[in-house]
């Protein structure tokens, strides 16, 4: 990827496709749902019969995990970072969630995430959130945890 291409993808300038330039402006169309899997009988249940595990569906997954991690491991441009001054005077650099979301959509479109825990401080001045991001590749999947307060 050319230098600065990641920044262009993130901020939407000179994007490779119109979907990356406007990721939230999707056209209205009928939702496409995968057919519901049939429940397993006791004979088919892997936990009771000792059979092999069912294969992981990889229908929408397009990249190996190593390639995804290589792209996500690149340095984020300073222009995208924000700075927050903590109460103790420490300057904390961070990337806003909406920009992290765009980066993940561009390089790991099959990612998923969930809030795992929310903790409110007793003085009511802060909230800590634990968020789990899972990256799916053609060869593996890896969960990551992030803490925000």
pLDDT for 92-139, tens place per residue? 898 888 998 899 888 888 888 899 999 999 998 888 888 888 888 888
CB burial of 138-147 (b: ≥16 within 10 Å; e: otherwise) equals eeeeeeeeee
pLDDT-based confidence at 46, cuts 50/70/90? very low
Instruction: Kindly give, in sequence order, each residue whose CB lies less than 8 Å from that of residue 44, ignoring residues fewer than 6 positions away.
Output: 51
pLDDT tens-digit map of 63-102: 888 888 899 899 989 999 999 888 888 998 988 889 988 9
How much of the chain, in percent, has pLDDT values that exceed 90?
Answer: 13
Beta strand residue intervals within the chain, DSSP E: 82-85, 91-94, 112-120, 127-136, 141-148
By the 10 Å C-beta count (0-12 exposed, 13-18 middle, 19+ buried), 6 is classed as buried
Instruction: Kindly give, in sequence order, each residue whose CB lies less than 8 Å from that of residue 86, ignoring residues fewer than 6 positions away.
Output: 92
Q: Where are the domains of the chain?
A: 63-149
The CATH number fitting domain 63-149, selected from 3.40.50.1100, 3.40.190.10, 3.40.140.10, 3.30.390.80 = 3.30.390.80
In the numeric block, which tokens belong to residue 4?
């600065």
Dihedral sign for Cα 82, 94, 136, 65, please: positive
pTM (predicted TM-score): 0.50
pLDDT tens-digit map of 28-39: 455 555 555 565
């Amino acid at each position: 990827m050319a230098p600065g291409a990641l920044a262009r993808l993130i901020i939407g300038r000179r994007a490779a496709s119109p979907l990356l330039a406007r990721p939230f402006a999707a056209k209205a169309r009928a939702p496409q749902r995968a057919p519901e899997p049939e429940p397993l009988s006791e004979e088919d249940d892997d936990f009771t019969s000792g059979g092999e595990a069912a294969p992981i569906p990889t229908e929408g997954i397009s990249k190996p995990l190593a390639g995804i991690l290589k792209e996500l491991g690149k340095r984020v441009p300073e222009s995208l970072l924000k700075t927050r001054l903590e109460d103790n005077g420490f300057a904390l650099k961070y990337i806003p969630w909406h920009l992290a979301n765009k980066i993940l959509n561009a390089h790991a479109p099959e990612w998923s995430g969930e809030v795992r825990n929310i903790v409110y401080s007793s003085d009511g001045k802060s909230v800590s959130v634990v968020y789990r991001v899972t990256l799916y590749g053609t060869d593996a999947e890896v969960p990551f945890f992030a803490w925000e307060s």
